[in-house]
Structure formats: structure tokens, C-alpha cells
């Protein structure tokens, strides 16, 4: 079973995986189904890591939107037909950089 530190490192790793393809830009994201799928899959993993992190750990780091990450994972998995690429791009472009910084701060703290 993975512990909280491993899950935080997973989030960091999957942010980096997404960043490899985000640099290609918004146009490429909308035109390339493989990149869309890659990014959505990695967001799903981030959400699962968030969901599985202990409540005690989450309480120690309330600055993260733990529930939002888990909720988006649930949307991807259970209501995949409602996934809006515009929302995905918005998350990747605006929320992921903030999350990356927060995760890096947590990793320095633990």
C-alpha cells in the first residue's frame, strides 16, 4: 500500500508527464486526440492519488484543493461523456502550475 509521501510524489510525477505535452500548446491539444487522452489519463491519476491520500495528511495541507482533484477524477472515470476539453485545458494551463508549486512546497516540508 502506498503511503502519503508516495502519493504526493505520484502527483508530482504525473504533473511532469502532462507538462511534456502541454508545451506543444493549446492548438495541438485540441487537434491531437492522443495528447487529449494522455493528459486526461494523467489528470485521472492525480485525482486518484489525491483521493487516496489520508485525511490526516490532507488536514495538514489544506491549501490544496483535494476534493476538487478527486471530484474531477470521478467525472473522468464515471461521467467521461461530460468531460469538456475546454475545462481540461483550463485546468492544465491555470491550475496545474499552482498545484505543482504547492506539491513542491509539501515535498520540501516532509
2, 7, 41, 73: the catalytic one is: 73
56, 78, 82, 108: the catalytic one is: 78
Q: For residue 67, what is its C-alpha cell?
A: 476534493
- Whether 82 is catalytic is no
How many residues in the chain? 110
Contacts of 20 by beta carbon, 8 Å cutoff, 6+ apart: none
Using DSSP, state whether 96 is helix, strand or coil. helix
* Residues 105, 103: Cα–Cα separation, whole Å: 5
- Whether 41 is catalytic is no
Q: Active-site residue numbers?
A: 73, 78
Amino acid at each position: 500500500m502506498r503511503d502519503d509521501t508516495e502519493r504526493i510524489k505520484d502527483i508530482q510525477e504525473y504533473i511532469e508527464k502532462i507538462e511534456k505535452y502541454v508545451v506543444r500548446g493549446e492548438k495541438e491539444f485540441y487537434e491531437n486526440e492522443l495528447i487529449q487522452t494522455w493528459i486526461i489519463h494523467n489528470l485521472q491519476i492525480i485525482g486518484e492519488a489525491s483521493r487516496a491520500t489520508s485525511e490526516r495528511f490532507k488536514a495538514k495541507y489544506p491549501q490544496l484543493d483535494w476534493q476538487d482533484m478527486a471530484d474531477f477524477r470521478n467525472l473522468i472515470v464515471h461521467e467521461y461523456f461530460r468531460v469538456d476539453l475546454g475545462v481540461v485545458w483550463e485546468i492544465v494551463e491555470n491550475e496545474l502550475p499552482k498545484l505543482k508549486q504547492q506539491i513542491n512546497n509539501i515535498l520540501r516540508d516532509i
